[in-house]
Amino acid sequence: MIYDIEYETMPREALESIQLRRLQATVSRVYATVPFYRKKFENAGIGPGDVNSLDDLQKLPFTNKQDLRDNYPFGMFAVPMDNVVRIHASSGTTGKPTVVGYTSRDINTWAELMARALAAGGATRGDIIHNAYGYGLFTGGLGIHYGAEKLGASVIPVSGGNTKRQVLIMKDFGPTILTSTPSYALHLAEAAEDMGVSFKDLKFKFGVFGAEPWSENMRREMEEKLNLTAVDIYGLSEVIGPGVSIECHEAKAGLHIAEDHFIAEIIDPGTGEVLPYGKTGELVLTSITKEAFPVIRYRTRDITSLNPEPCICGRTMTRMNKISGRTDDMLIIRGVNVFPSQIESVLMEIEGVEPHYQLEIDRKDNLDTLTVRVEVSQDTFSDAVKGLQRFEETIAREIKELLGISAIVKLAEPKSIARSEGKAARVIDRRSI
C-alpha cells in the first residue's frame, strides 16, 4: 500500500519544484536564526539569495558531526525553546552526544514519514506492530511508535530488552510486524527457540529492520529464521530519525528516500566532489521541511549510491542502495580496506555459520591482525576438533579469496558471542597508535 500516493508517486519535475521552494525557505530561515549557519555561509561568500536552482545546493558548505558537537547542546536549534516539544540524542561511541530537537510540526512530519515507511514495509491499519526498538533518547522506539499510530496500526511499545517477556508477548498477542535492529531480531529468534517457540508458528509477515548495517546475505538468513519478509529502514537522529528512507516490500531493492523532505547527494568523501547517480560515496542529506533542527548538507559518513530508476512499486522517489559501511568504520588491515559488512557477507555464504560474529583487530610488532570470531551451529560445533580446524581454515580461505585479507578464524560455541538489545558491537579494534 502506498500511504501518501500524491507525494510518493509525484513526477520528477513537480517534486523538484517543491524541493527548490522548500530548500530556499530552509536556507533563508537557518541564515536568519542559526548563527553557525550564517557564519559558515558568510565565510563561503554566499547568502540565501544565491540559491536559485537545485544545483546551487552545491555552493553551500557541508555540516558535519563536529559542528553539532561544537554547538552542544542546543546551539543549532532554529526556533526558540518555547517551540521545541521533543529532544532526542544519539549517544555515539566517542565524545558528547548529538542533541536534536523537534517542534510539534516536526513530530507530525516525522510521524507521516514513518507511516509511509511502515506502509512501504508491508504494514496496514489492521496490523499489530511489535516495536522492539529502544524507547528513550534513541529515535528508533518513538519514531516507529508515532508512525504506527499515524498509520492506524496497533503498536506494542515493548522497547528493547526483557527478551523472554517479549517472546511471550509475540506468542500471545500475535503481532504481525516486527520492528527492531536486525541483530536484536536474531536474538529474539534464538530466545524463542530456547523457550520452545518457533517463529514458524508466530504471525509475523514483515520485519522492518535498521539502525545498523546488514548485508543481503544476512537478509536471506533472517527471512528464513524468522519466517517473514525483511525490509531495510534507514535514518539518523541528526536528520530526523528512522524514516529518511525505506525499502518497499515489493522490490526490496534499494531504499526510497523521502525526497519531498530531504535532498540526497553522494560525494567523494576525500574531495567533497558531488558524484553522479550510480557512483558510490558518502551520503549527504539536507532537510527541507524541518523547523527546530534543520540540517544543510549534513555529511552522514554512510556509504551508498543513488538509483533514480523507476521502481515496480510505483513510487517515484530515488532509491539509495543498502548502506555498505561508514567512512569511519572502514578497517584498514595491513593496508587493505575492508568493511565489516563485506566480511559479514562472506560469512553468511558459508553453510553452518551463524549470523553472530565479532571482528577483533590487534597490532603485534607493527603488524595488524584480524581475528574473526564466528559462531557455528550446534551440529557443526560438536564435530571432532580436526573437523573444526578444517572449517576454520576454509572460512579463512574464503575471506582471503574474496577480500584479499588474511584472517585468523576462531569458531565460537553457539550463543557465546554477546547479544545486543540495540545496535550490535561487531568490531573491537585494539590497535592504539
Q: Which helix (H) or strand (E) holds 120?
A: helix 104-120
Q: How far apart are CA 225 and CA 219, in angstroms?
A: 10
- Residue whose C-alpha cell reads 502506498 in the numeric block: 2
**Nearer to ligand DLL by C-beta: 175 or 340?**
340
- Give least dist CB 326 to ligand DLL, A: 5
Q: How far apart are CA 275 and CA 431, in angstroms?
A: 33
Size of the site for ligand DLL (CB under 6 A): 21
- Give least dist CB 116 to ligand DLL, A: 14
Draw the binding track, 48-87, toward ligand DLL (x: CB under 6 A; -: no contact). ----------------------------------------
Stretch that binds ligand DLL, among 227-235, 308-316, 367-375, 408-416 (CB under 6 A): 227-235
Least Cα distance to 2 among 182, 106, 123 occurs for 123
Residue 166 · residue 132 · CB < 8 Å: yes
Q: Note the residue count of the chain.
A: 433
Stretch that binds ligand DLL, among 49-57, 161-169, 229-237, 413-421 (CB under 6 A): 229-237
Cβ contacts of 9 within 8 Å, gap of 6 or more: 2, 314, 315, 316
> Which burial class, exposed, middle or buried, applies to 137 when counting CB atoms under 10 A from its CB (0-12, 13-18, 19+)?
middle
- Give least dist CB 140 to ligand DLL, A: 3
Q: How far apart are CA 270 and CA 131, in angstroms?
A: 38
Applying CB under 6 A, among 41, 110, 133, 204 the residue interacting with ligand DLL is: 133
Residues 146-175 that bind ligand DLL (CB under 6 A): none
**Nearer to ligand DLL by C-beta: 103 or 215?**
215
- Give least dist CB 233 to ligand DLL, A: 5
Applying CB under 6 A, among 177, 202, 236, 320 the residue interacting with ligand DLL is: 236
Residues 185-224 that bind ligand DLL (CB under 6 A): 210-213
**Orientation of helix 182-194 relative to helix 163-173, angle to 10°:** 80
- Give least dist CB 365 to ligand DLL, A: 33
- Give least dist CB 184 to ligand DLL, A: 11
CA angle, 119 then 223 then 319, to 5°: 45
- Give least dist CB 242 to ligand DLL, A: 4
Applying CB under 6 A, among 235, 254, 281, 340 the residue interacting with ligand DLL is: 235
Give the nearest residue (CB) to ligand DLL: 210
Residues 90-109 that bind ligand DLL (CB under 6 A): 90
Residues 30-49 that bind ligand DLL (CB under 6 A): none
End-to-end CA, the chain = 52
Applying CB under 6 A, among 323, 370, 399, 405 the residue interacting with ligand DLL is: 323
Q: Does 247 bind ligand DLL (CB under 6 A)?
A: no
Q: How far apart are CA 431 and CA 369, in angstroms?
A: 9
Task: Please tell me whether residue 101 adopts helix, strand or coil conformation.
Answer: strand
> Which burial class, exposed, middle or buried, applies to 367 when counting CB atoms under 10 A from its CB (0-12, 13-18, 19+)?
exposed
Residue 61 · residue 40 · CB < 8 Å: yes
Q: Does 232 bind ligand DLL (CB under 6 A)?
A: yes
Applying CB under 6 A, among 19, 109, 139, 342 the residue interacting with ligand DLL is: 139
Q: Does 281 bind ligand DLL (CB under 6 A)?
A: no
**Nearer to ligand DLL by C-beta: 244 or 411?**
244
Applying CB under 6 A, among 101, 121, 122, 140 the residue interacting with ligand DLL is: 140
Q: How far apart are CA 68 and CA 183, in angstroms?
A: 29
Applying CB under 6 A, among 326, 346, 357, 376 the residue interacting with ligand DLL is: 326
Instruction: Read off the C-alpha cell for 74.
Output: 542546543
> Which burial class, exposed, middle or buried, applies to 11 when counting CB atoms under 10 A from its CB (0-12, 13-18, 19+)?
exposed
Task: Please tell me whether residue 224 adopts helix, strand or coil conformation.
Answer: helix
User: Which residues form the interface with ligand DLL (CB under 6 A)?
Assistant: 90, 133, 138-140, 210-213, 232-237, 241-242, 300, 302, 323, 326
